Amino acid sequence: MRTRQAPAGLRAKDIAAESIYLAGGGRALLLQIAHPAVGRGVVEHSDFANRMMDRLHATMTFVYASVYASPEEFAVVRRWVNRAHAPVRAAASADAPAYNAFDPRLQLWVASTLYATMIDLYERFFGRIPDADGERIYREFTVLGSALQVPQEAWPQTRADFDAYWAETVAGLRPTADTKRVARQILYPSTIPLWMRAVFPQARLVTVGLLPPDLRRRFGLAWSARLQRRFDRWMRWAVLVYPRLPARLRHRPRDAYLKRLRATIGERSAA
């Protein structure tokens, strides 16, 4: 599926503009909560059962704002996030690790799931990124990661170093009983809009199919040769159609989130 070559000269902003990452949002979330400390913070401070769409909108707004908003606009978004993260902390207990939403190591893992998901999906849809471009894009993402509150020096130095960090961290992920319950809320949400319920079985298939197989098993998620064939058929169809769509359609979610952000900032400034 990745024998094609992506266009040369890509920048991080080119990659981040695509809307296919909406299909990878669930995968990134499951990777995040499988980390023991991140997972504990999510279990104790997030409500996926009743606020699934709010969480999705907040995440996508923050990601797009970190890449495309003006410094003044992003400063507002960052204040919102810092305010929400302030109470997200706890000391270690007998059977659970400490967590702090401002811990650079935990922030690095969260940011890494976003970067890795973007690169994985971009290469699935547009072809393998040339090595020289891939290294430059990685460096650009580490700079953007500072907006996600990950100091640039906290990132692995090179793309190869990142790949080693990623493999080691994924191998050590161990979902708990609580994070498995949150995973089920993510995969089987009860409060999504009615129109989404018709397409969510397909979204669930894609989310589970994009997970590393070992992590899929650790979450206890059902998978089979039949589901793999369904996932492969979906990917072949999507890869055939999506890249041929006009850029204005592929980038519409980014534009919509930025428009909504700017309207919200304007309303709050006027209040």
Determine the pLDDT at residue 49.
61
Taking residues 31-60, what's their average pLDDT? 83
Determine the pLDDT at residue 124.
95
- On the CB side of 249, CA atoms within 13 Å amount to 6
**Beta-sheet pairing, 99-100 with 89-90:** antiparallel
Torsion of CA 28, 32, 33, 38, to 10 degrees: -160
Determine the pLDDT at residue 271.
64
For the cut 50, the answer to whether the pLDDT of residue 191 exceeds it is yes
Q: What's the Cα-to-Cα distance from 184 to each of 53, 140, 180, 214, rounded to whole Å? A: 15, 34, 6, 17
Cα 56 from chain centroid (whole Å): 10
pLDDT band for position 147 (cuts 50, 70, 90)? low
Taking residues 24-46, what's their average pLDDT? 91
Q: What is the mean pLDDT of the chain?
A: 89
Q: What are the pLDDT digits (tens) for 89-125?
A: 888 887 888 888 889 899 999 999 999 999 999 999 9
The model's pTM is 0.91
Determine the pLDDT at residue 134.
94
Determine the pLDDT at residue 33.
94
Q: What is the DSSP letter of 198?
A: T
Report the C-alpha gap between 88 and 179 in whole angstroms: 16
Q: Which of 24-38, 93-107, 162-176 has the lowest mean pLDDT?
A: 93-107
Taking residues 255-271, what's their average pLDDT? 88
Determine the pLDDT at residue 1.
45
Nearest to 101 by CA among 115, 93, 111: 111
For the cut 80, the answer to whether the pLDDT of residue 136 exceeds it is yes
Determine the pLDDT at residue 50.
64
